[in-house]
Structure 1
Amino acid sequence: MKKIWAVINLILISVLFSACTQQAIDNSLAISSMDTFIGGTVHAPKAVWDKADKKLKEMYMLYHELTDNYRGYEGVQGVYYINNLVETTKTDQTVEIKKELYDLLSLGVELYEFTDGYFDMSIGKIIDVWKNLIDESDYTGQEIPKEDIDYAINLVDAIDIIEDPVILSEVDNKYYVTLKYGAKLDLGALAKGYVTQLAADYLTDLGLSTYLISGGGSSMLYGEGNPKTEDGSYRTGLINPQDVIDNLDIIGYRPKNYGIYTAKNYNFTTSGSYNQFILSEGVMYHHIVSPKTKRPVNHYLTLSIVGTDAGFNDGLSTALFSMPPEVLEQFLETNGYEVYTYLFNNTYKSYNQSENFRPL
């Protein structure tokens, strides 16, 4: 009889232990990749999360190697390899690439057409000029001589924007990109959001719906069932960029928000100039370059877009940021995206605003 009870107790303990290990908990997402920090929380049983965490790290690393502009990786025919091959041979080059990069570049081509060229992943040479100028400064917001700006303008004006710079093809289940000489791929305005969307899709396929993923802070993806709110929704604070600029000299300063967005299962992506810029004669020069002017433009301090696809919105927000207000208004009237812009007069303007937004 004692043996029978011992067996029964072991079975009960085993069942209870199994139940405990399968209980969903909040797990921290922490990945350093693609020159940024990917953070957040995922509500999942530990065994499921351990598998998912490993997969997500592998996913971000794959796209880091494929899209890195600054270094190559052994056996990887990614952006660095393609750009370097074209530049060293000084001719158009066709390269076989992984399907993952092919699909990402396809989205870039789609965005180029959809935005009438305001998104252009082939102007890497022009972007490099402005990024290098900003990187040479000692701190964000530094005032630099006008001569430095004039020198950068002379450089970018001498760089041609190539017509139809990227051509994609598929032959016998193999994938190819042709990059024309003079063009340089830069996927910085697209890749992080794209992979963050893939990460969310993967979690959804695993049956996980409660998550928050921050793709470098500029692209936020939310699920549902948030345990911290009564209805399971997630909230996004819309940072006041002017407040950030006014307090750049305060270490650890927490900026004010100008609004709160509350919903479930959504992406919130922001493009802005307030984190990386220099000044010359009172004009901001930042890292978001207009393909139309070859220069950073200052129509807005930030532009935020709400949707469900972080990859598409990452590229789209960059394109919209460079659109003059009249062009932006017509585009949004036609396409219906919900967008929030923060302007230089310390006010915001919304387009297709929903009841999910609350001003502060």
Structure 2
Amino acid sequence: MKRTATLILLLALLCGCTAAPSQSGDTSLQRYEATFLTLFDTVTTIVGYAETEDAFTGTAQAIHDELLEYHQLYDIYNEYDGINNIKTINDHAWEHPVEVDQRIIDLLLFSKDLYAKNQGKVNIAMGSVLSLWHDAREDGIADPEQAALPDSNALEQAAAHMNIDSIQIDQEKGTVFLSDPQVKLDVGAIAKGYAVAQVCRSAPSGLLISVGGNVCPTGPKPENGQPWVVGIQDPDNAEQYLHTIYVKDLSVVTSGDYQRYYTVDGVPYHHIIDPDTRYPANYWRSVTILCPDSGVADALSTALFTLRQEEGQALLDAFQAEAMWVCRDGTVLYSPGFQAYIRV
């Protein structure tokens, strides 16, 4: 998550849109789409149906404003007036307990619980390692001829300070303390999906909310009760889908090596770092998760990206989720129930 940009709201009827009847026979609903460029350093799109453009605008703006609150709370790069956020924790919680919003406490507890269930493959305490890769990637993108990997000794030293138990939470006082001064939090593998899940719980039914690679419906299409159609990108071609799938009550989250990467000596290095090796995982091109909870799906997409299929399937079974893996050679693999959602 990076510096908040100027809000851009693009609101229009989708191409070819006409009035569509609702389940009750109401022919007054029309389909609208709003796009924001202010949240979680990615594109947010809200699709829904309303009787008027003003009605939809109000709904979309309310969802944006709630997501913006989560964006600011979970930001690790920027400060905001009157807010103690994740950056505040990294900057000061090793000195003294920092009082934070309950939504931060809830995210940290959620993340610690998932850590215990995902073989430690999603660790919000590995910020010191991830920051070395982030800085190397930013430098490499800015100056490709000087692109370099993070220093191996620095990575090893940083890896000695990623114990998730160093995050000490006092729920009664609403504070967070880092018992290891060199531990840094990075919630990027969970925060976006978690925030989407929280917002969707209170959002009106019949919307499709997409924040980057996190897509969450709040129920079927209201005009006819049909499922939404969501595309899964081909890692080799941003203009093509490998599949389109039907969803009504399942979140769709994809992690891929094509989203954020840089190149060193002709070799691409993406942003999904295996906590065991401290280097980018190299099993898959992408992993797509279907799961009711967008926060769980976000974490699973990262965890499965760093695991072989058999290990990943065990995690899916534990969370009653489905997955599609795209192998390095382009082969596509599926969990047992995934193909039932593919649009034929």
Task: Provide the TM-score with structure 2 as the length reference.
Answer: 0.82
Instruction: Give the C-alpha shift of residue 185 in structure 1.
Output: 0.9
Q: Residue 120 of structure 2: SS of its match in structure 1? A: coil
Instruction: Give the C-alpha shift of residue 190 in structure 1.
Output: 1.5
Distance 2:41 2:75 in 1: 9
Q: 1:142-183 deviations in whole A, cap 9, x for unaligned?
A: 6876xx22x433321121133312122222xx4121223221
Q: Tell me the equivalent position of 1:169.
A: 170
CA change 1:211–1:333 in 2 (3 A) is closer
Contact 1:305-1:317 at 8 Å conserved across structures: yes
Question: Within 5 Å, which residues of 2 pair with 1:90-109?
Answer: 91=94, 93-109=96-112
Contact 1:143-1:278 at 8 Å conserved across structures: no
Instruction: Give the C-alpha shift of residue 359 in structure 1.
Output: 8.0
Q: Tell me the equivalent position of 1:29.
A: 34
Q: Tell me the equivalent position of 2:125.
A: 122
Question: Within 5 Å, which residues of 2 pair with 1:193-272?
Answer: 193-203=193-203, 208-216=204-212, 218-226=213-221, 232-241=226-235, 243-244=236-237, 254-272=238-256
Residue 310 of structure 1 pairs with residue 298 of structure 2: no
Q: Tell me the equivalent position of 2:134.
A: 131
CA change 1:93–1:327 in 2 (3 A) is farther
Task: Structure 1: give runs of 5+ residues left out of the alignment.
Answer: 1-21, 245-253
Q: Tell me the equivalent position of 2:336.
A: 352
Contact 2:92-2:98 at 8 Å conserved across structures: no
Q: 1:108-146 deviations in whole A, cap 9, x for unaligned?
A: 111111112111011111111111222222489x6876x
Contact 1:108-1:121 at 8 Å conserved across structures: yes
Q: Tell me the equivalent position of 2:21.
A: none
Amino acid in the other structure paired with 1:165: S
User: Percent identical across equivalent pairs?
Assistant: 24
Q: Tell me the equivalent position of 2:8.
A: none
Distance 1:335 1:308 in 2: 10
CA change 1:201–1:75 in 2 (3 A) is same
Amino acid in the other structure paired with 2:304: L
Larger radius of gyration: 1
Task: Structure 2: give runs of 5+ residues left out of the alignment.
Answer: 1-26
* Bigger shift: residues 39-48 or 304-313: 39-48
Amino acid in the other structure paired with 1:158: Q
Distance 1:55 1:255 in 2: 31
Distance 1:139 1:273 in 2: 19
Residue 154 of structure 1 pairs with residue 148 of structure 2: no
Q: Tell me the equivalent position of 2:186.
A: 186
Question: Within 5 Å, which residues of 2 pair with 1:28-107?
Answer: 28-31=33-36, 32-46=38-52, 49-86=56-93, 91=94, 93-107=96-110
Q: 1:180-199 deviations in whole A, cap 9, x for unaligned?
A: 32211111112221221222
Contact 2:140-2:263 at 8 Å conserved across structures: no
Q: 1:279-300 deviations in whole A, cap 9, x for unaligned?
A: 4466431111111221111111
Contact 1:143-1:279 at 8 Å conserved across structures: no
Contact 1:337-1:352 at 8 Å conserved across structures: no
Instruction: Give the C-alpha shift of residue 353 in structure 1.
Output: 2.6
Q: 1:28-65 deviations in whole A, cap 9, x for unaligned?
A: 33332222221121223557545433432321221122
Q: 1:255-292 deviations in whole A, cap 9, x for unaligned?
A: 32222211322210011111222344664311111112
Distance 1:201 1:23 in 2: 26
Contact 2:261-2:271 at 8 Å conserved across structures: yes
Amino acid in the other structure paired with 2:97: T
Distance 2:95 2:115 in 1: 20
Q: Tell me the equivalent position of 1:319.
A: 303
Q: Tell me the equivalent position of 1:301.
A: 285
**Alignment: residue pair count:** 313
Instruction: Give the C-alpha shift of residue 23 in structure 1.
Output: 5.2
Distance 2:323 2:142 in 1: 30
Q: Tell me the equivalent position of 2:9.
A: none
Cα RMSD after superposing both structures = 2.7
Instruction: Give the C-alpha shift of residue 239 in structure 1.
Output: 1.5
Contact 2:128-2:161 at 8 Å conserved across structures: no
Larger RCO (CA under 8 A, 6+ residues apart):
1
CA change 1:154–1:334 in 2 (3 A) is same
Distance 2:329 2:45 in 1: 33
Give the structure with the larger helix fraction. Answer: 1
Contact 1:169-1:176 at 8 Å conserved across structures: yes
Contact 1:97-1:176 at 8 Å conserved across structures: yes
Q: Residue 60 of structure 2: SS of its match in structure 1? A: helix
Instruction: Give the C-alpha shift of residue 337 in structure 1.
Output: 2.1
CA change 1:330–1:191 in 2 (3 A) is closer
